[in-house]
Amino acid sequence: MLVATLMTFGRLSQDNEITALRASGVHLGSILIGPLFAAAILSVGLTAFNNYVLPESNHEFMNLLIDIGRMRPTVKLQEGTFITDFPGYDLLVQSVNGRTNEMRGVTIYQLNAGGPPTTILAKSGSLTYTPDGRTAVLRLRDGEIHEIPTEEGGARKHRRLSFKTHVINIAGAGAILERSARSTRSDRELSAASLLAQRREEVDHYANAKRIRRTQYQGRELTPETEALLQFDDVPWRTRMAQAWTRWRLGHGAFERLMKDHPNEAAELNVWLLERDAYRKRLASLSVEIHKKFSLPAACLVFVLIGAPIGMRVRRAGPAVAFLSVAFFLFYWLCLIGGEELAHRLIIPAWLAMWLPNLVLGTLGLHWTVAACDIELPWGRKRRASGARIGGGERRAVA
The answer on 60 and 100 residing in a single domain is no
The answer on 126 and 96 residing in a single domain is yes
Closest to 161 (Cα-Cα) out of 111, 204, 112, 121: 121
User: Domain for residue 346, yes or no?
Assistant: yes
pLDDT of residue 127: 87
User: Domain for residue 102, yes or no?
Assistant: yes
User: Domain for residue 384, yes or no?
Assistant: no
For residue 281, give every residue at least 6 positions away whose Cβ sits within 8 Å of its Cβ, in sequence order, or none: 344, 346
The answer on 96 and 39 residing in a single domain is no
The answer on 322 and 195 residing in a single domain is yes
pLDDT of residue 395: 44
pLDDT of residue 240: 42
Cα distance between residue 167 and residue 215, in whole Å: 75
Give per-residue burial for 220-256: e unless 16+ CB within 10 Å, then b.
eeebebbebbbebeeeeeeebeebbeebeebbeebbe
The answer on 312 and 205 residing in a single domain is yes
- H or E stretch covering 38: helix 33-48
pLDDT of residue 18: 78
Question: How many domains in the chain?
Answer: 2
The answer on 357 and 282 residing in a single domain is yes
pLDDT of residue 279: 84
User: Domain for residue 398, yes or no?
Assistant: no
Strand partners, 97: 102
User: Domain for residue 103, yes or no?
Assistant: yes
The answer on 318 and 203 residing in a single domain is yes
Cα distance between residue 292 and residue 131, in whole Å: 44
The answer on 30 and 113 residing in a single domain is no
The answer on 1 and 38 residing in a single domain is yes
The answer on 284 and 363 residing in a single domain is yes
Residue 331 amino acid letter: F
User: Domain for residue 297, yes or no?
Assistant: yes
User: Domain for residue 129, yes or no?
Assistant: yes
Which stretches in the chain have pLDDT values below 50?
235-243, 246, 387-391, 393-399
3-state DSSP helix/strand/coil percent for the chain, to nearest 5? 60, 15, 25
pLDDT of residue 34: 87
User: Domain for residue 76, yes or no?
Assistant: no
The answer on 283 and 167 residing in a single domain is no
Distance of CA 343 to the CA centre of its chain: 16
Closest to 176 (Cα-Cα) out of 131, 134, 127, 128: 134
pLDDT of residue 397: 44
Structural domain harbouring 51: 1-71+187-221+228-239+273-371
Closest to 336 (Cα-Cα) out of 356, 362, 350: 356
The answer on 333 and 216 residing in a single domain is yes
Looking up residue 150, the CATH number of its domain turns out to be 2.30.30
CA dihedral sign of residues 324, 330, 336, 338: negative
Determine contact, residues 372/28, Cβ cutoff 8 Å: yes
